Amino acid sequence: MSAPLRFDGKVVLVTGAGGGLGREYALAFAERGACVVVNDLGGDIKGGGKSSSAADKVVEEIKAKGGKAVANYDSVEDGEKLVQTALDAFGRIDILINNAGILRDRTFGRTSDLDWDLIHRVHLRGSFLVTRAAWNHMKNQKFGRIIMTSSAAGIYGNFGQGNYSAAKMGLVGLANTLAIEGRKYSIHCNTIAPTAGSRLTQTVMPPDLLESLKAEYVAPLVLWLCHEQCQETGSLFEVGAGWIGKLRWERTPGCIIRRRNQAMTPEAVRQSWDRICDFSSATKPATIQESLSTLVEVLSKVDTEEGVVPNPTSAMASAVSDGNSPLAAVGQKLPEMVFSYSHTQCILYALGVGMSTREPDHLKFLYEGHEDFSCLPTFGVIPAQASMMEGGLGSIPGFNFDLSRLLHGEQYLELYKPLPTSGKLVSQAAIADVLDKGSGAVILLDVHTYSGKDLLCYNQFSLFIVGAGGFGGKRTSDKAKSTMSPPDRAPDAVMTDETTRDQAALYRLSGDWNPLHIDPSFAAMGGFKTPILHGLCSFGFAARHVLKQYANNDVSKFKAIKVRFVKPVLPGQSLQTEMWKEGIRIHIQCKVKETGAVVLSGAYVDLHCAEDSVSPEKPAEAGGLQSDLVFEEIGRRIQTLGAELVKKVNAIFAWEITKGGSAAAQWTIDLKTGTGSLHKGPYSGKADVTMTLSDEDFMDVVLGKLNPQKAFFAGKLKVRGNIMLSQKLETILKDYAKL
Ligand code: NAI
């Protein structure tokens, strides 16, 4: 990261580069290897006249220093011609700095049509035209960097600059949208509001200040934003005097003043004015989705008469009204929740996740009279979810998040016994941890569900609360059940199932009544064309695909599932589950077949034993270590190849394998003595290096998914002794990836 930022091979177009800030950018880019198009109309400050001398002078300056530059004298209103100059001279366009500008300051009442139009034509329309001319070239080459030049006069307003302020804020809006549209082509668009001494500011700034606010204090930000290393996009910066700051929107929690079945009045607005304008618990919405989701929540609150004045129940996220940190919620318990069900709920759930009498092997989940009538394992989320929704996260004392900003991020479910087909279950939920992800907070909610004294299942909900981050908490937690990437190969099995048009309508009857999944107007407010499928419905589809493929629909073989919810699915789309078998772990990825969009990622199902994976003499029963199999195989190889390995490696390696945080096995491979040997349990000799890691991480290293050096730096692998020897691990382990 310390290498100088270079722009060799990049072609930069700077508009209005004949003087002031633009000239500075042009010189700086050229000095760092870029080919520069120096555009300037060469007119006066008010937009009158034209001349080629301004651009020519800067081109000469660049060339005199050995740089590459050409001049262009067109107005930015001829956008295509500017870009054509770049293509003719250098064959491409990578970076565009929209900088050209004029001033026609007037108090508002005296602003003429010409004052308004000229300002808009140069600043807003000019930037539009040049950017549009460059856009498709950037899109085709999948790279582009665009800078818009706004102004503090627009952001804050400035006396006598109505025309200019309006045009300058127009550019901020344009940049916000270009950032979104350009993202998938690596076209980044940012906006700067600079302050520097130039001919534009000489009328409004005292000469001393003008002199000290140098243009060279602005250029470094522009260069960094335009470098390929910089991933910033859609942002607005103030810059000047050697200082750079980033701006964003802040919004008060506001309050709902409408009541169900009542007219909304201006008097009610007056009465709540202080609260509407109270920034003390402000949030920082960053996307239009976040903005709209608030409205969706408002509609549902008004509908249920929740949170309506005078006693709104929810303060907005990020701030904590009672002075507690969100971390104070860690360890808090939700009220215990009782969930009673009969075979009807089990069958309804099975239909909800797409089971059908079309498939003969589905009957055992759909017909209570079937000799093997069973409850689907993923039904285990239903009682747990009820405890969260009805018991209410909102009931946690000092827990002051706005639940309207809550997204279901990830889900883990582990079963200790097959679920009964009817019963009365008790769920106990507690906040396991609260993480600070910057843009939001993640709540890890652990729910244990019991039947009498028997623990039946454990759920971990990862709930993301948009905008609630930044409270100084940690980013990760050892309590979090992590997702896992699938192996880097084609899937071992793929199963596809159609969802029906009524899938969400059916699934919600299992207890998730969010109108987002049924009411078109709610869905529209959330930015969706139609109501979307429940994430936990796709989760149910994926789980039963694995159950069928690798466990012959035997629910007693199902141990656990973890998924991350990535994208919504629309009812009627087909779900495609890709599966990779790695012993008893089945990695899964779920896609919408029609679009190819990944909807569940980092997912896996753990089975107690997989149908076609375990050799009869060595079942990897629950609690058994996957690493045992690998070591035993290594032992067999040493018997045949030991002498050769001793020659190559010449070291003694010891492993301490942990499971669930405690020591589970010890292995030592002696590749120093004789023809090599493998030892299980305590070892009498001295190992050159001892490595401690979990059974799962060991498997990842063996399967080449986790690089030992990276594991070490991530704290997953502890090494005592000669750490350099860990590099030889690959020699020993790489052949075993096929296990
Ligand atoms: P400047 O007047 O030195 O530079 C602007 C350049 O744009 C001039 O060389 C001018 O000939 C050229 N130009 C004007 N109309 C053109 C057109 N139609 N086509 C091509 N070139 C044209 O002014 P300065 O200060 O360097 O301003 C650069 C940009 O920064 C402007 O967009 C300005 O509004 C903005 N800005 C500057 C601030 C400052 O403190 N200097 C404050 C806020 C914004």
Residues within a 6 A CB radius of ligand 1 = 15-16, 18-22, 39-43, 47, 54, 75-76, 99-102, 122, 126, 149, 151, 194-196, 198-201
H or E element in which residue 181 lies: helix 162-182
Q: Which atom of ligand 1 is nearest to the CA of 240?
A: 40
Q: Which atom of ligand 1 is nearest to the CA of 42?
A: 11
Residue 676 confidence (pLDDT)? 85
Residue 639 confidence (pLDDT)? 78
Residues 6+ apart with CB under 8 A from 315: 253, 281, 321, 400, 402
The pLDDT of 83-95, averaged and rounded, is: 98
Residue 205 has pLDDT above 80, yes or no: no
- Percentage of residues of the chain with pLDDT beyond 90: 56
| Position 76, amino acid | V
| pLDDT digit string, tens, across residues 652-689 | 888 889 887 778 888 888 888 888 888 888 777 888 88
Residue 503 has pLDDT above 50, yes or no: yes
Residue 738 confidence (pLDDT)? 38
Q: Which atom of ligand 1 is nearest to the CA of 98?
A: 32
Chain centroid to Cα 290, Å, comes to 14
Q: Which atom of ligand 1 is nearest to the CA of 43?
A: 11
The pLDDT of 377-393, averaged and rounded, is: 80
Burial 462-495 (b: 16+ CB within 10 A, else e): bbbbbbbbeeebeeebeebbebbebbeeebebeb
Burial 658-669 (b: 16+ CB within 10 A, else e): bbeeeebbbbbb
Residue 165 confidence (pLDDT)? 98
pLDDT class for 322, splitting at 50, 70, 90? Answer: very low
Which of 23, 118, 200 maximizes ligand 1 atoms within 8 Å of its Cβ, making it the mutation to test the pocket?
200
Asked which of 78-87, 154-163, 196-205, 429-438 is least confident by mean pLDDT, the reply is 196-205
Name the residues annotated as catalytic: 164
Asked which of 295-299, 348-352, 475-479 is least confident by mean pLDDT, the reply is 295-299
Residue 78 has pLDDT above 60, yes or no: yes
Burial 97-121 (b: 16+ CB within 10 A, else e): bbbbbbbbbbeeeebeeebbebbbb
Q: In terms of pLDDT, which residue wins out, 692 or 458?
A: 458
C-alpha separations of 575 from 335, 497, 501 in Å: 36, 5, 13
| pLDDT digit string, tens, across residues 462-477 | 988 877 777 778 888 8
- What is the 8-class DSSP label of residue 333? B
Q: Which of 136-145, 575-584, 610-619, 620-629 has the highest mean pLDDT?
A: 136-145
Average pLDDT, the chain: 87
Residue 637 confidence (pLDDT)? 78
Residue 317 has pLDDT above 50, yes or no: no
pTM greater than 0.75 (yes/no): no
Closest CA to 332 of 401, 382, 383, 380: 401
| pLDDT digit string, tens, across residues 514-525 | 888 999 888 887
Residue 727 confidence (pLDDT)? 65
292 φ/ψ angles, rounded to the nearest 5 degrees: -70, -35
The pLDDT of 419-438, averaged and rounded, is: 90
Task: Tell me how far apart the alpha carbons of residues 144 and 226 are, in angstroms, rounded to a whole number.
Answer: 8
pLDDT class for 396, splitting at 50, 70, 90? Answer: low
Task: Tell me how far apart the alpha carbons of residues 301 and 296 are, in angstroms, rounded to a whole number.
Answer: 9
Which residue has its alpha carbon closest to ligand 1 atom 43?
151
Report how far ligand 1's centroid is from the alpha carbon of 23 (Å).
10
Residue 321 confidence (pLDDT)? 33
C-alpha separations of 83 from 8, 130, 658 in Å: 19, 7, 61
The pLDDT of 258-277, averaged and rounded, is: 88
Which residue has its alpha carbon closest to ligand 1 atom 44?
151
Q: In terms of pLDDT, which residue wins out, 201 or 728?
A: 201
Which of 99, 119, 169 maximizes ligand 1 atoms within 8 Å of its Cβ, making it the mutation to test the pocket?
99
Which residue has its alpha carbon closest to ligand 1 atom 19?
75
pLDDT class for 331, splitting at 50, 70, 90? Answer: confident
Residue 616 confidence (pLDDT)? 32
Closest CA to 585 of 623, 559, 554: 559
Three-class secondary structure of residue 265 per DSSP = coil
